[in-house]
Structure 1
Amino acid sequence: MRRMCLGLSTKLLNISVASLCRTRQLEKAEAALIDGIRLGVLPDVVTYNILITGYCQVVGFDAGYHVIHRMKEAGINPNLITYNSLMAGATRQGSLACCLDMLDEMLGRGIVPDVWSYNTLMHCFFKMGRPVEAYRIFREILLKNISPCQATYNILINGLCKNGYIKNALILIRNLKRQGYVPQIVTYNILMNALCKLKRWKGIMRLFEEIRELGIAPNAITYTIAMKCCFGSRRYKEGLQIFFEMKSRGYAYDLFSCCTIVAALVKSGRRLAAERCTAHMIKIGYDLDIASYNTLINWHFKEGKLEKAYNLLGVAESRGLDCDIYTHTILIDGLCKAGNFDVAERHLDHMKTMGFNCLVASNCFINGLCKAGYIDYALQVFNASDTRDSCTYSSLVNNLCKQRRYRLAAQLLLSCIRSGMKVLKSDEKNVIQGLTRLGTLYAKRFKLQVRISKLLQY
């Protein structure tokens, strides 16, 4: 009876420690452990494994590994879960050496690694950009007659996709299906997301049809990825069809899905449909985040409705939402398009005082001045700016060429190259063509300077 009570108390101690670790309250978890020991409730290997996971997640691998010394002092031997937790902590930290050390230490203690040990090691190799070694781990799993689980295949496919081997991942999934493997929706989401980044719309649609044929229920992520790719490929009609299918079949869709729809409708010029979708979002009780407000503010600026845009900004701030860098950049871009350059410049200065990275906003301001014909004003802002990139130079060079100020454009382009930035071929071509009009000698001299400047960068 006493043994049963002790076991139950240890179980309750473990639940308490686990709850505190999950909420990142490690000090309270340690206090709970000390209180338990004072009351005569002794921790077991599970207690220490929970602490190891907590320390690895909150502090780091070294803090987690230190718990092993405490286990030894308490006369408790580490087990398979102990080392799997430490390997996961090392992987999260991006330390392949520590992950391999834990595997060696595990083997040295006579502990046989399981599928999760190899899954973690494979994931670590992929994370460190070493897909060849990661695939060798997968082959090792098969050679050791360890049965791979769904997570094994998902880690393998995700790792291949993230390291640029999407074609190999697709071939692998086809081969596995022939051998009777049934992919999960998570697996398809991984593949679709990788194809979406490459804007391979047809490939995503093929996978989407395959999901339907297999009778696998798509989730909100599946639909959102498909919609995002359709809209990114300017397939607005197909994207909207997917959304309405998602809605009509009762699938759960989240705020991100709705914002994706609104952004696509705005880009395609379907103002009334965007308004209806926004009203629907509010009706069903979604609390719009700052990204949603950014989309709507940008839309109103494009429509030339400055007052409505500022009203929306006021609503966002009244709800306690802090404007981010995108909000300020959208405002500056909208003000420039409306010709309110004085207000835009004051807002840019305000951004700087708030400590934001103003590069994109500054580029919008300079580009707006150039398009309005205030090229000298744009040059003053450029010279006073501390942050520049190739887009900053490109905007000025392009507009200087339009005004036939080719020599100044050539100087800026050379300055950009000497700063180690890449220049657009179209800008270089425009400058050369302009200098040729002034005389072939100017163009030849510029070509030579460009060649020398590029060589000096290597």
Structure 2
Amino acid sequence: MWSIKGYSVLYRMKEAGIYPDTITYNSLIAGATRYCMISRCFDLFEEMLEMSILPDIWSYNTLMHCFFKLRKPDEAYRVFQDILLKNISVHPATFNILINGLCMNGYTENALMLFRSIKRHGFIPQLATYNILIHGLCKSGRGKTAREFLNELVESGHIPNAITYTTVMKCCFRCEQFEEGLKIFAEMRRKGYTYDAFAYCTVASMLLKTGKMNEANEYLGYIITNGFDLDMVSFNTIVNLYCKEGQLDNAYKLLHEAEKKGLESDKYTHTIFIDGLCRTGNFKEAQQHLDYMSMMGFDSNLVALNSFINGLCKAGHLDHALRMFESMDAKDSITYSTMVHSLCNARRFRAASKLLLSCIRGGMRILKSDKRGVIDGLRGSGYSQEAKKIQSKIRLAKILQN
């Protein structure tokens, strides 16, 4: 455990006659923050003060970041106010943490207002600050404002980097502004920022989703023939594209190339193959990937199992899917929704209603379409009284949750 290992360093330092300072405690606080251990952060702060070691701006920055990570923006802002009250010199990173934290917690408008305010008071934003805001704006669906910020960034004398362009390009694709996204990509290429495979993978993925198979393959071919140094994320992206297009042989060849380069397949790789194999009806091989994941002890196979169950249901192997469902140690709302929807399609409304109630009682959210499918199905099958009982039980389960 981090806390035990970190603390043991302090004891060893004292035994060696070395006394911890602000940097020592800042490192420990940063470690606690990484694991969102807010109580440990406070303990370390108190210990610093007891030892007459004054926290500096980085101590407060780290604590503020921890609060934002824990989705506690009000407490994070109080830390910032504490910095001002104690007349501690603010570092540009402090404002970046504030802006990023506000965006991360859904307060993009507040982040914009803060940005404008501190800029009026003499703060000179760096490229990192613009990138944070652009990312926040894109995440909140404000692509137009993000592109305006891209222009403002250039006008302020900064040079956008690959992160800036890729963020805006992905935002354009998400908002289905494909031509605009491709223009951003063309500008990236023109300025020499497409030096890795990530941007090409993003474009290829968009083209595949919009049904432009030939164009997607051209980009994939460019990635492979130009010898880009691919990481596992890039390999997984390309494998996913091949699998969705039904080119499983090419996907396996690519995986073989990745392994030759010393890269190891991860749970996402196997999940992608399971989904692709299920699409082609090859459940035997898909099961082999599941067995391999269990044998290798991957931390979670839930997404892979959900893909497998979804494939079985779509292929009409509902009883097989139910057996898999029952054998699962952990399930989420997607697992339940897949089974409820499939049981309704098979007109097995009573079984679907039991799963629906089990899902709600487990504290998971249900889709309105699943609830409507079960209720309407029971009524249409002549089980009106049962439909009423299910509605009452659903309402009671929701009340008990609250």
Partner AA of 2:324 in structure 1: V
Equivalent residue for 2:275, pick from 320, 333, 336: 333
User: Structure 1: how far apart are the matches of 2:312 and 2:59?
Assistant: 58
Kept after mapping to 1: 8 A contact 2:29/2:62: no
CA deviation profile, 1:197-217 (whole Å, cap 9, x unmatched): 333323322322221222211
Classify 1:410/1:144 alpha carbon distance in 2 versus 1 (closer, same or farther; 3 Å): closer
User: Structure 1: how far apart are the matches of 2:79 and 2:306?
Assistant: 47
- Is 1:366 aligned to residue 309 of structure 2? yes
User: Structure 2: how far apart are the matches of 1:336 and 1:322?
Assistant: 23
User: Structure 1: how far apart are the matches of 2:260 and 2:213?
Assistant: 25
- Is 1:450 aligned to residue 394 of structure 2? yes
Instruction: Give 1:425-444 correspondences, 5 Å limit.
Output: 425-437=368-380, 438-444=382-388
- Is 1:385 aligned to residue 328 of structure 2? yes
CA deviation profile, 1:4-59 (whole Å, cap 9, x unmatched): xxxxxxxxxxxxxxxxxxxxxxxxxxxxxxxxxxxxxxxxxxxxxxxxxxxx9995
Structure 1 or 2, whichever has the larger Rg, is 1
Instruction: Give aligned-pair identity as a percent.
Output: 49
Partner AA of 2:328 in structure 1: S
Secondary structure, counterpart of 1:281 in structure 2: helix
CA drift of 1:431 comes to: 0.6
CA deviation profile, 1:370-406 (whole Å, cap 9, x unmatched): 2222223322332333332221221121122222221
Question: Match for residue 402 of structure 1?
Answer: 345
Classify 1:444/1:264 alpha carbon distance in 2 versus 1 (closer, same or farther; 3 Å): same
TM-score scaled by length of structure 1: 0.76
Classify 1:440/1:207 alpha carbon distance in 2 versus 1 (closer, same or farther; 3 Å): same
User: Structure 2: how far apart are the matches of 1:275 and 1:58?
Assistant: 51
Partner AA of 2:22 in structure 1: Y
Question: Match for residue 412 of structure 1?
Answer: 355
Task: Name which structure has the greater RCO, CA cutoff 8 Å, separation 6+.
Answer: 2
Question: Match for residue 96 of structure 1?
Answer: 41
CA drift of 1:246 comes to: 1.4
- Is 1:67 aligned to residue 13 of structure 2? yes
Partner AA of 2:334 in structure 1: C
Classify 1:61/1:281 alpha carbon distance in 2 versus 1 (closer, same or farther; 3 Å): farther
User: Structure 2: how far apart are the matches of 1:130 and 1:453?
Assistant: 29
Question: Match for residue 424 of structure 1?
Answer: 367
User: Structure 2: how far apart are the matches of 1:124 and 1:396?
Assistant: 38
CA drift of 1:333 comes to: 1.2
Q: Which runs of 5+ in 1 are unaligned?
A: 1-55
Partner AA of 2:387 in structure 1: A
Secondary structure, counterpart of 1:347 in structure 2: helix
CA drift of 1:183 comes to: 0.7
CA drift of 1:173 comes to: 0.5
CA deviation profile, 1:416-453 (whole Å, cap 9, x unmatched): 22333322111011110111111421211211222333
Question: Match for residue 194 of structure 1?
Answer: 136
Partner AA of 1:391 in structure 2: I
User: Structure 2: how far apart are the matches of 1:348 and 1:119?
Assistant: 43
User: Structure 1: how far apart are the matches of 2:96 and 2:387?
Assistant: 55
Equivalent residue for 2:246, pick from 304, 307, 329: 304
Secondary structure, counterpart of 2:90 in structure 1: coil
Equivalent residue for 1:213, pick from 155, 160, 167: 155
Q: Which runs of 5+ in 2 are unaligned?
A: 34-39
Partner AA of 2:6 in structure 1: G
Instruction: Give 1:17-96 correspondences, 5 Å limit.
Output: 59-61=5-7, 63-64=9-10, 67=13, 70-71=16-17, 82-94=21-33, 95-96=40-41
User: Structure 2: how far apart are the matches of 1:124 and 1:304?
Assistant: 44
Instruction: Give 1:159-198 correspondences, 5 Å limit.
Output: 159-198=101-140
User: Structure 1: how far apart are the matches of 2:69 and 2:386?
Assistant: 50
Q: State how many pairs are aligned.
A: 393
What is the root-mean-square deviation in Å for CA atoms of aligned residues? 3.0
Partner AA of 2:329 in structure 1: D
Kept after mapping to 1: 8 A contact 2:274/2:286: yes
Classify 1:308/1:116 alpha carbon distance in 2 versus 1 (closer, same or farther; 3 Å): closer
Instruction: Give 1:211-250 correspondences, 5 Å limit.
Output: 211-250=153-192
